[in-house]
Amino acid sequence: MMHVLKATALSEWRCAADRQRGQQWPLPCVPPLGFTTFGMSELDAWIAQLKRCETLTEAQVKALCGKALEILVEESNVQSVAAPVTICGDIHGQFPDLMELLRVGGDAPATSYLFMGDFVDRGFYSVETFLLLLALKVRYPDRVFLIRGNHESRQITQVYGFYDECMRKYGSVNVWRYCIDIFDYLSLAAVVDNSIFCVHGGLSPTVATLDQIRAIDRKQEVPHDGAMCDLLWSDPEDIEGWGLSPRGAGYLFGGDICSNFNEANKVDLVARAHQLVMEGYKWMFQDNLVTVWSAPNYCYRCGNIAAILELSDGLDKKFQTFDAAPQDDRGAPAKQPPADYFL
């Protein structure tokens, strides 16, 4: 018997919620996701199509996002993930490199994946990248986990490429709006086997425990400050205590802060992404924290390698590194590349 997936409407479309939060973007409201059904075979066909770097239709994106919403709304702010699992850092729309990552790490569902955000912006294929990961999440909800990065944001995607890409590929704002609504429902963090805390950016001076993260109302645009902002924007630094971040959001935090957080929450390691590291990964704070970066030759010019972190059943750690896909697979650069901020 064919399994049928239902994509139901949002209880209220997000335009009203945006107005309540004081968001003033001059963007038209799009219609609610509506009701539709699709089978597993159709979803598998969409995944195969996306793996060929072919976009879905707007109606298909609408249906996929509707089903994804039903799954994500049930997930905690701090998602519990069981090992073995492979942890991945930023992807940033570099679709050929995502395919290389899946080749190196193995396809889902044979490999369980935790992606730590920043799926979109800067790269040429943010649409295909995010929709493939979302389709894999819908197809294998207990084997693929997605947490939010600072680029999963209305404001950031209007500056660094995703909004423009959606407009260019679909001719309207609708697909962008479907996707950014999904961003609001992504988990903020994950814990692997109660031992490894995974987050996109870092720690916050207002967050001492995991329960405080669980209490955050995540279903909103990323705020400019506060705990949710800090988790997505902060960076580790060789300092004591807290420092001001040059990014203009989040904080810098030192090894003492990380050690105190790990001890208070009985975790052994903080795994995070968010910062380019030329070797693909970087240990800090006497191995209390590791940065994982999964976008090789970032922005098509940085020359870095990428890495993924494989965790075994017993939480043994193994890094797999990989280079960028061949230049011919990457497409042509945009005529007006997005402005730089701290890479």
> Mind telling me the catalytic residues?
151
End-to-end CA separation in angstroms for the chain:
49
User: What is the residue-wise DSSP string for 252-295?
Assistant: EE-HHHHHHHHHHHT-SEEEE--S--TTSEEEETTTTEEEE---
Looking at residue 14, its amino acid is R
Write down the residue that tokens 């059943």 correspond to.
Answer: 313
Q: Are strands 251-253 and 189-192 parallel, antiparallel or unpaired?
A: unpaired
Neighbours of 179 (CB within 10 A): 25
Structure tokens at 32: 């609610």
Q: How far is CA 80 from CA 11, 220, 221, 259, 294, in A?
A: 27, 21, 23, 21, 22
| Cis preceding-peptide flag for 84 (omega within 30 of 0) | yes
**CA 55/CA 43 separation, integer angstroms:** 14
- Within 8 A by CB and 6+ apart from 340, the residues are none
Three-state secondary structure call for residue 177: helix
Structure tokens at 273: 């992404």
Name the nearest CA neighbour of 88 among 69, 54, 111.
Answer: 111
**CA 136/CA 130 separation, integer angstroms:** 10
